[in-house]
Amino acid sequence: MGTLRLILGDQLSHSLTSLENCDPKRDWLLMAEVREEASYVKHHKKKIAFIFSAMRHFAEELRARGLNLHYTKYHDQDNQGSFYGEVARLCQRQKITKIVVTHPGEYRVLAEIQSWQQKLNIAVEVRQDDRFLASLEEFSNWASGRKQLRMEYFYREMRKAWHFLMDGNKPVGDKWNFDSANRKALPKEMSPPQPTKFEIDTITQEVLELVAKEFDDHFGQLENFHFAVTRDQALVVLDEFIAQRLVNFGDYQDAMVQGQPWMYHSHISFYLNCGLLTPKEVIEQAEYAYRNGDAPLNAVEGFIRQVLGWREYVRGLYWLKMPDYKSENFLEATRSLPKFFWGSHTKMNCLHQCIKETSENAYAHHIQRLMILGNFALLAGLHPDEVNEWYLVVYADAYEWVEMPNVTGMILFADGGLLASKPYAASGSYINKMSDYCKSCDYKVKDKNGPHACPFNYLYWDFLDRNKEKLGNNPRLGMPYRTLNNMSDEKRQTIQRDSQIFFKALEQDEKV
Ligand code: FAD
Ligand code: DLZ
Ligand code: SF4
């Protein structure tokens, strides 16, 4: 007579609530590599390899703690292929009187778990996930009665509640946000350090072989796998970020350089999201670096805002708005995802570089995801379902709770402005300012129209024109709409014509 404690692949934390008051003699822990999770979308090969390897390493640590763990490997003969199948199998084999699980990260998994009590006739307890700094109830209380849910205000409340970067009641430096200092292009003479890399051990090697065999038709490259797969290794990634890159994180947060996928970013989202690191320890280390004089305030505040602000905020928003959030499509976008998102060539160098790096690394930094890939998806009117699926597939840090608000809310404005006060739309000149991609592009960023013009230039105006009814009254778009309204009919027609030629070529699968 014992409790079954299910640990999911993104719950690799020893402090997990589902492990509290575990009886090592009577309780069973269950971890399972299941086909359903690995293929409900066709995750990037590196993402599957990372999760399976991190799961197997975590399982070893649980066993070393003397806990009773049942671990189902992908190739195990009796593997039932789903969480439910594996839970039901263990319930049949052991005398299980209760199932305990920490709140999962995805709505579909929660709905599934909530059905088990009836199906198995065993009590199911879902415990809070206290690895986040705001509980779902706290977020919901904050959101209650507000018309707009701006991250900035939530972030300030979190700073006060947790007393991060505060001097008494005031924010350190007398300002909540130093973002205006964080928009520099990378000077030519600067070269960001290489990311922290780890050797492949026997566990990872076995997993790499499994993925190569079973998921060969999935997107992305498996070669050059160097992710951390244990907490100790993830802590090394964090330490090296704080010591080597945090100092420049703020200044070059928005910069993009061809051949430099990692820049001065932290590369810790993989580890935060699967539980190898906690947001609290990450923020504390960054604040310590500032207090110690090792990193400037614009960098440290900028970094803490991402983890304490954006990360907690998108999770709160996801759970507040699901399941309806999944079907939001405010701008009524319908276009299919172009094939080049899956790796075939595009002449648009910015997109080509970001997709190539995504395929190689299962990673792209924020501004690539937002202002190149996301910007194109917005301007081209790609359907939210297809864009959401792509982002969920291709990044090793992607789980629906964090991916969907970023896609539906941040890049596609599909929630009608719940998350963002205006769409993040930009023409080629922004990309040219923040990157060196345009120098090696077939298109000319300075040309506004015609066959050689940068497509972002005419698509930007076409997007505003197409969506005038829905966006024309947005106070933050006053300037561009005034410019659009002052354009001659001839200019507008040229923009429309170029956009139509471009979209037709996309539809006919021509190389654009
Ligand atoms: P850094 O730039 O070093 O930032 C530090 C940390 O802040 C990140 O590790 C992350 O935990 C957090 N963070 C930063 N921005 C965000 C954000 N907008 N939302 C939530 N957390 C944030 N992040 C994911 O973790 N998983 C996703 O599936 C994901 N999908 C995204 C999709 C789109 C369209 C966009 C625009 C952003 C997405 N992000 C996602 C947010 C962000 O791009 C990544 O967290 C970041 O690039 C991860 O790299 P890093 O660890 O080097 O981050
Ligand atoms: C992403 C993923 C994959 C690819 N495979 C597994 C798996 O086989 N077993 C598992 O427990 N978790 C896996 N995960 C992570 C889950 O998808 C994640 O835990 C849920 O989406 C809940 O957030
Ligand atoms: Fe991208 Fe346009 Fe620059 Fe080419 S010219 S890299 S398409 S922004």
pLDDT mean across residues, the chain: 97
Q: What is the mean pLDDT of residues 220-247?
A: 98
Nearest partner of 501 among 450, 456, 466, judged by Cα? 450
- What domains does the chain contain, in order, with CATH numbers? 2-127 (3.40.50.620), 136-193+245-321 (1.25.40.80), 339-507 (1.10.579.10)
Q: Does pLDDT of 210 surpass 90?
A: yes
Torsion of CA 498, 499, 500, 501, to 10 degrees: 50
Determine the residue of 345, 346, 349 to mutate for testing ligand 3's pocket, defined as the one with the most ligand atoms within 8 A of the Cβ atom.
349
d(CA 393, CA 385): 12
Q: Does pLDDT of 401 surpass 90?
A: yes
Is there a contact between 272 and 279 (Cβ–Cβ < 8 Å)?
A: yes
* pLDDT at position 69: 97
Taking phi over 0 as left and psi of -120 to 50 as alpha, with beta for the rest, 165 belongs to left
* pLDDT at position 180: 86
pLDDT higher at 378 or 1: 378
Using CA of residue 239, residue 243, residue 248, residue 250, what is the dihedral sign? positive
Question: pLDDT class for 183, splitting at 50, 70, 90?
Answer: confident
Size (the chain), residues: 512
* pLDDT at position 179: 87
pLDDT tens per residue across span 337-393: 999 999 988 999 999 999 999 999 999 999 999 999 999 999 999 999 999 999 999
Instruction: Tell me the CA–centroid distance for residue 37 and ligand 2, in Å.
Output: 5
d(CA 250, CA 248): 6
* pLDDT at position 97: 95
CB neighbours of residue 456 within 10 Å: 27
In 7-77 the beta strands, taken as DSSP E runs, fall at 28-32, 69-72
pLDDT tens per residue across span 144-175: 989 889 999 999 999 999 999 999 999 999 99
* pLDDT at position 70: 97
Exposed (0-12), middle (13-18) or buried (19+): which is 216, by Cβ within 10 Å? exposed
Question: pLDDT class for 79, splitting at 50, 70, 90?
Answer: very high
d(CA 236, CA 49): 20
pLDDT tens per residue across span 51-61: 999 999 999 99
Q: What is the mean pLDDT of residues 85-97?
A: 95
Two tokens, residue 258: 């061809």
Determine the residue of 266, 397, 424 to mutate for testing ligand 1's pocket, defined as the one with the most ligand atoms within 8 A of the Cβ atom.
397
Residue indicated by tokens 């997007």: 463
Is there a contact between 320 and 139 (Cβ–Cβ < 8 Å)?
A: yes
Q: What is the mean pLDDT of residues 96-119?
A: 97
The residue type at 485: N
Pocket of ligand 1 (CB under 6 A): 265-269, 272-273, 303, 306-307, 310-311, 314, 365-366, 369-370, 374, 391, 395, 397-398, 402-403, 406-407, 410-411
* pLDDT at position 50: 98
* pLDDT at position 100: 98
Q: What is the mean pLDDT of residues 229-233?
A: 98
Give the residue, by CA position, lying nearest to ligand 2 atom 14: 9
Determine the residue of 346, 354, 443 to mutate for testing ligand 3's pocket, defined as the one with the most ligand atoms within 8 A of the Cβ atom.
443
Nearest partner of 88 among 125, 117, 59, judged by Cα? 117
* pLDDT at position 455: 98
Q: What is the DSSP string of 456-476?
A: HHHHHHHHHHHTHHHHTT-GG
Ligand closest to Cα of 434 equals 3
Q: What is the mean pLDDT of residues 479-485?
A: 97
